[in-house]
Amino acid sequence: MSTAGGSPADGGAELETVHLLRRVTIEFGLRQAEFAALHGMHPTDVRALICLLDAARAGTPATAGRLGAQLGLNSAGTTALIDRLERLGHVTRSRDERDRRQVLLTVDARAVELGQEFFGPTLAGMVELLRTFDDREAAAVRRFLRGAYAALAGASLE
Amino acid sequence: MSTAGGSPADGGAELETVHLLRRVTIEFGLRQAEFAALHGMHPTDVRALICLLDAARAGTPATAGRLGAQLGLNSAGTTALIDRLERLGHVTRSRDERDRRQVLLTVDARAVELGQEFFGPTLAGMVELLRTFDDREAAAVRRFLRGAYAALAGASLE
DNA sequence: TCATATTATCTCGCTGAGCGAGGTAATATG
DNA sequence: CATATTACCTCGCTCAGCGAGATAATATGA
């Protein structure tokens, strides 16, 4: 169908998808907040762990400053954040030997486990769902998410 | 982790999609925080406006309590949140005449405009992208997002 | 080499978002 | 009609995150 002329009804289907994405992001945030409360943390702490794990997966060295920038915190807030995570034993600080100004961050294995315990079933549900997609459909989902990221961040992923 | 019987390569493609979604949600949160800072608000205030607009779109009456529940706030925090939004002129309180305990909330038109000014280009970018999808691909994206919401919220949408 | 700028992080003091506890109307229940 | 429940609000407090500024490590230029 999809008459290209941009009738209100047609735009609706696409806007609906965007609204859907927005609701998903809010719900994701709420689950993060729950996980945070469950382990004596704050939503920002969980977001920080996610960023650190993403960096680890991507092979990017995780420094204090980079983390703060990703989370939109200033340096004082970043220091406080890392203090909390370190106090809870979820991350470890270490000096970069190449540039001793920088603080490298590593996520403790136990923190990863806790995350998988909590988010595992949810993420598994999504993976399960994706298995019912054929190649073209799965590729479409990835293409949309990459595009959404680009639209949001003004930068594409890798 | 080791999910069910899929080959490692297969699980990778699906997990990649899920990680992509997670990154998108974090980026969405950052844009919300920027919008908030730009207008003297806080991230929670923006999330609240989104919830109120979603409720309006769905035709659900928006009450103080319901909003607080959606955002994971307790009653004190909810009251403070609505105080802030009302002080900024973004929402209006009114008593429900059916049940005078309840406070109904309506979003001011100006707040909607501000949101569209800021998020319009980003959302338009996503809509544009979606227009390049054929019907089956677009449907796949919606199906994934609905499923993701269900996995996150433990409830499906409508 | 040594002064100077820049970068990366930390410390200090403060503001205010959000919590727990408790209060006050309005509505339900026996 | 007393009592419970619901929906919201007030009060006092804690601590996340901010701005300002300090410190230490690295670049830059004469």
Look up the CATH number of domain A14-153: 1.10.10.10
Q: Does A76 touch chain B (CB under 8 A)?
A: no
> Which residues in chain A have their CB less than 8 angstroms from residue B6's CB?
131
Mutate to test the interface with B, among A10, A122, A127 (most CBs of B within 10 A): A127
C-alpha neighbours within 13 Å on the C-beta side of residue A26? 23
pLDDT > 90: percent of chain A:
80
- Considering the four listed CATH numbers 2.10.10.100, 1.10.10.10, 2.60.120.10, 3.40.228.10, the one that applies to the domain covering B10-108 is 1.10.10.10
Reply yes or no on whether the pLDDT at B116 is more than 70.
Answer: yes
* Confidence tier at B4 by pLDDT (50, 70, 90): very low
pLDDT tens-place string over residues A36-69: 999 999 999 999 999 999 999 999 999 999 999 9
pLDDT > 70: percent of chain B:
91
DSSP codes joined into one string, chain A: ---TT--HHHHHHHHHHHHHHHHHHHHHHHHHHHHHHHTT--HHHHHHHHHHHHHHHHT---BHHHHHHHHT--HHHHHHHHHHHHHTTSEEEEE-SSSTT-EEEEE-HHHHHHHHHHHHHHHHHHHHHHHTS-HHHHHHHHHHHHHHHHHHHSS---
* Confidence tier at B157 by pLDDT (50, 70, 90): low
Q: What is the pLDDT of residue B103?
A: 97
Q: What is the pLDDT of residue A1?
A: 43
Q: What is the pLDDT of residue A6?
A: 41
pLDDT, mean over chain A:
90
> Which residues in chain B have their CB less than 8 angstroms from residue A4's CB?
131
* Confidence tier at B60 by pLDDT (50, 70, 90): very high
* Chain A 13-72 residues whose Cβ is under 7 Å from strand C: 63-66, 68
DSSP codes joined into one string, B113-147: HHHHHHHHHHHHHHHHHHHTS-HHHHHHHHHHHHH
* Confidence tier at A11 by pLDDT (50, 70, 90): low
pLDDT > 70: percent of chain A:
91
Reply yes or no on whether the pLDDT at B2 is more than 60.
Answer: no
Domains of chain A by residue range = 14-153
